[in-house]
């Protein structure tokens, strides 16, 4: 019996809401020549059976899809409603126009409310013919199937906001969190590859710091951990990586692997 084809994962962006470098900042990270210190807003590409799903579409979405050579999307999955995760939704118009198809967008009811506020012309275009064409699917805690894969939603807390991470097989992806409930920790058991947010070195009211993320990762105990949603206060990629446990690393834009 033939083995299933590997699932392709690519980090389209690993930066925080302001990106790295930040406009006007002269710190050593923002001035770094290391390309791994150049971070677009956080987004992840998943490809299976030549079909693409993207988790989050922030303001760098167009640039990210062009750089990754993505010409078609089966679905966009939104983790939550903050603007650095939804602002690129208008860019689906290119797929609408070139491929003459709508794009499915999966989101929570809370995210849908924000989308209706941010993009009212999608829902009430009037006589405007250029509005993005999307098919909305509401997600909750129930698993769903997409591009031949089972997605298990992972509910985490971003201060007082519910955010969804996702588990696909033994790969788990969590961004924008500072607390993982016990029920979600149960769902994370057996994860082999974990992606977890780690905003900066010092504490933050709605994101894990690097030390906090390391401690959470130790509890989950995967084979490999990649940290994402990184701000300039995380430090230089090369220096920070040398300080981390040997199975943990900062991710970078364009990093890819198969699972």
pLDDT of residue 4: 78
pLDDT given for residue 5 in this prediction: 85
131-161 as b/e, with b when 16 or more CB fall inside 10 Å? bbbbeeeebeeeebebbebebbbbbbbbeee
CATH 3.60.15.10 at 8-258, yes or no: yes
**pLDDT value at residue 3:** 73
Structure confidence by residue, pLDDT tens digits, 102-138: 999 999 999 999 999 999 999 999 998 899 999 999 9
The DSSP annotation for 96-115 comes to HHHH---EEEEE-HHHHHHH
Rounded to 5 degrees, φ, ψ at 191 are -60, 130
Q: What whole-number distance in Å separates Cα of residue 217 and Cα of residue 227?
A: 10
In a 3-state reduction of DSSP, which class is residue 39? strand
> Where do we find the tokens 């979600």?
184
Distance CA 247, CA 77 (A): 28
Distance CA 60, CA 79 (A): 16
Looking at residue 138, its pLDDT comes to 98
Residue pair 133/140 in contact by the 8 Å Cβ criterion:
no
Distance of CA 258 to the CA centre of its chain: 17
Nearest in space to 168 (alpha carbons), one of 191, 196, 140: 191
> In the chain, what is the straight-line distance between the N-terminal and C-terminal CA atoms, in Å?
19
Low-confidence stretches of the chain (pLDDT beneath 70):
1-2
Q: Quick check: 234 and 210 in contact, CB under 8 A?
A: yes
The tens digit of pLDDT for each residue in 39-48 reads 999 999 999 9
Given a contact cutoff of 8 angstroms between Cβ atoms, the answer to whether 230 and 39 are in contact is: yes
pLDDT at 2: 67
pTM exceeding the 0.95 threshold for the entire prediction? yes
Question: How big is the CA angle at 139 (ends 226 and 141), to the nearest 5 degrees?
Answer: 70
Q: What is the pLDDT of residue 129?
A: 87
């Amino acid at each position: 019996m033939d083995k299933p084809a590997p699932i392709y994962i690519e980090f389209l962006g690993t930066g925080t809401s302001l990106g790295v470098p930040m406009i006007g900042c002269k710190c050593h990270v923002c001035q770094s020549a290391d390309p791994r210190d150049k971070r677009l807003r956080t987004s992840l590409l998943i490809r299976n059976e030549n079909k693409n799903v993207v988790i989050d579409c922030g303001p760098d979405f167009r640039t990210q899809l062009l750089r990754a050579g993505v010409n078609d999307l089966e679905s966009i999955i939104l983790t939550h409603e903050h603007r650095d995760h939804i602002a690129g939704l208008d860019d689906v118009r290119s797929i609408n126009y070139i491929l003459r198809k709508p794009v499915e967008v999966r989101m929570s009811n809370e995210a849908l409310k924000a989308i209706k506020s941010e993009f009212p012309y999608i829902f009430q275009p009037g006589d405007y013919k250029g509005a993005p064409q999307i098919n909305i699917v509401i997600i909750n805690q129930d698993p769903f199937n997409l591009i031949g894969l089972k997605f298990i939603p992972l509910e985490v807390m971003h201060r007082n906001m519910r955010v969804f991470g996702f588990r696909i097989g033994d790969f788990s992806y969590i961004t924008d969190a500072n607390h993982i409930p016990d029920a979600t920790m149960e769902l994370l058991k057996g994860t082999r590859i974990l992606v977890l947010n780690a905003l900066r070195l010092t504490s933050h009211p709605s994101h894990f710091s690097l030390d906090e993320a390391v401690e959470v990762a130790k509890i989950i105990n995967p084979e490999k951990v990649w940290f994402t949603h990184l701000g300039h206060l995380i430090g230089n990629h090369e220096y920070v990586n040398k300080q981390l446990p040997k199975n943990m690393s900062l991710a970078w834009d364009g990093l890819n692997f198969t699972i």
